């Protein structure tokens, strides 16, 4: 099994899948192979269906886990071992579409006011203003703040694509204060060691704690990207001051 897992890992890396997706797929495939006692010889569509039913009804895993497992198995059979198993009639779970629960502009302001740590407050403000995902905010570099064009550069976001998003006047002002206090060099929001970006789990934990202290009754997710959605926060004006830019 180890050889097959290593081969699939190589295939995933060659197709430029993210590290997170690779780890998830390999875990699902490892469980899948173990279920069949380490051998996939003679595998057919009906046995795959029974396995998916097993993890849903016996293991009681949710829709997201089931969908990931189906995708991982499909990649293994089609891309790695090229097993002639007909999957045309086998479908993964339907995608559930939910409307996000979002903060109002006033609630965002209150949440920011209740966050005492300047670095944490800046992460929330940049996220809200730029509409960033947790991984995108964590991996911002100092030179991603474009003070001349009033933009934030997002490197290798969803779909491995670079893009630009807006840099607001209020965020810019606070970023200057933040830089004066912390003097970040490479990463805009470095870890305590300073040579690596702040871990995404740390940002999620900080957000949960801030949210819980201010709005304990609200049932919201673990990160603000899908909850900070008011575009009126975004304006343009002053430059961001750090060693690579000039400004007052």
pLDDT of res. 88: 58
Overall number of domains in the chain: 2
76/151 same-domain check: no
Long-range contacts of 46-50 (CB under 8 A, 24+ apart): 48/73, 48/85, 48/87, 48/90, 49/90
Among the candidates 64, 80, 96, a domain finishes at 80
For residue 247, tell me if it sits in a domain: no
Beta-bridge mates of residue 75: none
For residue 86, tell me if it sits in a domain: no
Cβ distance 126 to 132 under 8 Å?
Answer: yes
- Mean pLDDT, the chain cut into blocks of 10 residues (248 residues total): 92 90 95 90 86 90 88 91 70 61 72 83 88 89 92 82 88 92 93 88 85 65 46 36 39
pLDDT of res. 109: 77
- The HSE-up count of residue 51 (CA atoms within 13 Å, CB side) is 26
For residue 227, tell me if it sits in a domain: yes
Q: Which domain holds residue 155?
A: 105-233
Beta-bridge mates of residue 105: none
Q: For residue 147, give the CATH number of its domain.
A: 1.10.443.10
pLDDT of res. 87: 63
76/109 same-domain check: no
Q: How far is CA 45 from CA 1, 49, 50, 90, 177, in A?
A: 20, 6, 9, 7, 60
Residue 205: in which H helix or E strand, if any? helix 200-214
What is the C-alpha separation between 70 and 34, in angstroms, rounded?
15
For residue 202, tell me if it sits in a domain: yes
For residue 100, tell me if it sits in a domain: no
pLDDT of res. 239: 37
């Amino acid at each position: 099994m180890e050889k097959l897992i290593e081969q699939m890992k190589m295939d995933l890396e060659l197709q430029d899948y993210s590290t997170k997706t690779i780890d998830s797929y390999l875990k699902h495939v490892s469980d899948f192979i173990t279920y069949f006692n380490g051998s996939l010889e003679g595998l057919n569509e009906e046995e795959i269906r029974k396995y998916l039913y097993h993890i849903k009804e016996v293991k009681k895993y949710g829709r997201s886990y089931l969908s990931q497992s189906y995708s991982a198995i499909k990649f293994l059979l089609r891309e790695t071992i090229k097993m002639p198993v007909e999957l045309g009639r086998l479908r993964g779970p339907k995608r559930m579409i939910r409307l996000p629960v979002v903060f109002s502009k006033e609630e965002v302001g209150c949440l920011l006011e209740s966050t005492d740590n300047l670095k944490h407050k800046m992460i929330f403000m940049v996220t809200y203003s730029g509409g960033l995902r947790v991984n995108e905010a964590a991996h911002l570099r100092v030179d991603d703040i474009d003070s001349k064009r009033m933009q934030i550069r997002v490197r290798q976001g969803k779909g491995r694509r670079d893009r630009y998003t807006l840099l607001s006047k209020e965020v810019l002002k606070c970023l200057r204060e933040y830089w004066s206090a912390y003097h970040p060099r490479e990463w805009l929001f470095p870890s305590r060691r300073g040579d690596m970006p702040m871990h995404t789990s740390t940002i999620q934990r900080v957000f949960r704690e801030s949210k819980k202290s201010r709005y304990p009754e609200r049932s919201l997710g673990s990160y603000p990207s899908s909850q900070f959605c008011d575009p009126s926060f975004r304006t343009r004006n002053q430059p961001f001051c750090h060693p690579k830019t000039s400004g007052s």
